Amino acid sequence: MGRIAASKQPPPKVQTPTAKAVDRSTIPAMSELWQHGRETQLSAPAILQAQHLQGNRFVVQRLFESLRQSGHNLSLAQRVAFDDIVGNPTAEPTPGTTIHPTVRQGSRGPAVEELQQKLNADGATPPLVADGIFGPLTRVAVVAFQRKYDLSPDGIVGPLTWGKIDELGLASDVGRVEREWTEEVGGQIYGMTSRYTWRILDDEIRVTVKLRFTGVENPGAIANCFEAIHRIWNCFKAVNTTTGQEYRIVFEAQQVTSGEDNVVELHSGNDRSDAANWFIGDPDLGNTAAHEFGHMVGLEDEYQRTHTDYQRLVGEEPPTGQQATAESAPPAQVATELHDALRLPVEAARVTAARQVITAHGLRQGEYAQEIATAYQTAHGTGLVQDIVDHIPDDDEWSIVNPFTYSSGSLMGSGINHDHPVEPRHVREFVGYLQTARPGVYNVEPI
């Protein structure tokens, strides 16, 4: 079949683990990382704050970055293995808080406007004009804020100063998010930086992503993509449960020629799309663009996930899916058949043989496939998904990994096509900004 539609979904593959077998004895202990974090730019309160807001995985990644910068040479595989030891990310990001870009004198834009409003909310005197221009008066207010809260009074608003602003819960009507993230899908690591601006208006919260297009010129395709993004995403409102006041949750993709949040290259023909590459020959391009837009506003894929990741992303247990029946082969037997297939000397023969096992036993996502994966781990001492990734060529991985993972039935979770809806959980983060700016309890309801 040449091309697998579902493999179009992942954002740009940043790096895949190369060293599959990790010597865990070389992985630093958490206490060592913690100590290192304290000695470097990551203060203990910042680490705690980040753990609270972003979860352990984020903190571990930051600490590893910090270790690397000071000359420790750690492979991605070691980092992934460490994540595995520490446990998967647990802390839900607190609504209304996230990662802010660093701003300083001379910076302009919504992050500065957000900062000015939030400094005013903390009693900046004289109050700043929230014009989005970081001039001398804003710098004076920042230094005063930093002195007030025992931060280094350098006038630069980086993670620690933003962390204090978030911790204080200061409100603004506008905000800027620039968040780097990674995910593990089907045993591979993907990642990107999501960038967007949010703004609260009279009766809506508007989330804007600015896109600059390169490659093939095709205004019609761009218009179709934007129509699909807006139709698919703009279907919820936040309703204040006390006052009944309603705010539409509006997502807006904007085409720009400079000052973009993301660059998208348009290609002719049809191939694997990701957040940075769209194919105008894709008959499902509108839905694909809507899925990739989800990544641009910070959402992860909800397909081919581990049990733990599925729970974290969806907030509930995965569906039971396919269960063993009286006719089902014993899981250990299927595991052995898969192991034999993956050990054939010729790659193409492995693909054919593994597909035959999946077809012969009618394997689909669910309990039975998980029992097979467990039996595989027990019998062969290695994860089935990892073994597939290690022994099957990239282009064929998707269909063979798929039965042994979990996917949700949402726009971010479809493994086959993209014509699934946005779920209320996908807009919760944005309602969080509303909750901070206009305190109250909000329900997410369809428009």
For the CB of residue 297, give the shortest distance to Zn ion in the complex, in Å: 12
For the CB of residue 270, give the shortest distance to Zn ion in the complex, in Å: 17
Binding region for Zn ion (CB under 5 A) out of 4-12, 19-27, 218-226, 279-287: 4-12
Q: Name the residue type at position 429.
A: E
Q: Does 301 bind Zn ion (CB under 5 A)?
A: yes
Q: Does 300 bind Zn ion (CB under 5 A)?
A: no
Binding region for Zn ion (CB under 5 A) out of 171-179, 295-303, 308-316, 434-442: 295-303
Q: Does 288 bind Zn ion (CB under 5 A)?
A: no
Q: Which is nearer to Zn ion, 113 or 301 (CB)?
A: 301
Q: Does 429 bind Zn ion (CB under 5 A)?
A: no
Q: Does 309 bind Zn ion (CB under 5 A)?
A: no
Binding region for Zn ion (CB under 5 A) out of 1-9, 62-70, 198-206, 431-439: 1-9
Strands 277-279 vs 262-267: parallel, antiparallel or unpaired: parallel
Q: Does 414 bind Zn ion (CB under 5 A)?
A: no
> 21: exposed, middle or buried (C-beta count within 10 Å: 0-12, 13-18, 19+)?
exposed
Q: Does 370 bind Zn ion (CB under 5 A)?
A: no
Q: Which is nearer to Zn ion, 174 or 427 (CB)?
A: 427
Total site size for Zn ion, rule CB under 5 A: 2
For the CB of residue 287, give the shortest distance to Zn ion in the complex, in Å: 12
> 348: exposed, middle or buried (C-beta count within 10 Å: 0-12, 13-18, 19+)?
exposed
For the CB of residue 228, give the shortest distance to Zn ion in the complex, in Å: 15
Q: Which is nearer to Zn ion, 44 or 263 (CB)?
A: 263
Q: Which is nearer to Zn ion, 9 or 97 (CB)?
A: 9
Nearest residue to Zn ion by CB is: 9
Sign for the CA dihedral angle at 386, 392, 394, 398 comes to: negative
Tokens of 241: 């449960």
Q: Does 113 bind Zn ion (CB under 5 A)?
A: no
Peptide bond into 439 cis (omega under 30): no
Q: Which is nearer to Zn ion, 9 or 54 (CB)?
A: 9
For the CB of residue 299, give the shortest distance to Zn ion in the complex, in Å: 8
For the CB of residue 279, give the shortest distance to Zn ion in the complex, in Å: 14
Q: Which is nearer to Zn ion, 180 or 340 (CB)?
A: 180
Q: Does 410 bind Zn ion (CB under 5 A)?
A: no
For the CB of residue 275, give the shortest distance to Zn ion in the complex, in Å: 7
Residues 7-36 that bind Zn ion (CB under 5 A): 9
Q: Which is nearer to Zn ion, 207 or 338 (CB)?
A: 207
Q: Which is nearer to Zn ion, 159 or 191 (CB)?
A: 191
For the CB of residue 209, give the shortest distance to Zn ion in the complex, in Å: 15
For the CB of residue 301, give the shortest distance to Zn ion in the complex, in Å: 4
Residues near Zn ion (CB under 5 A): 9, 301
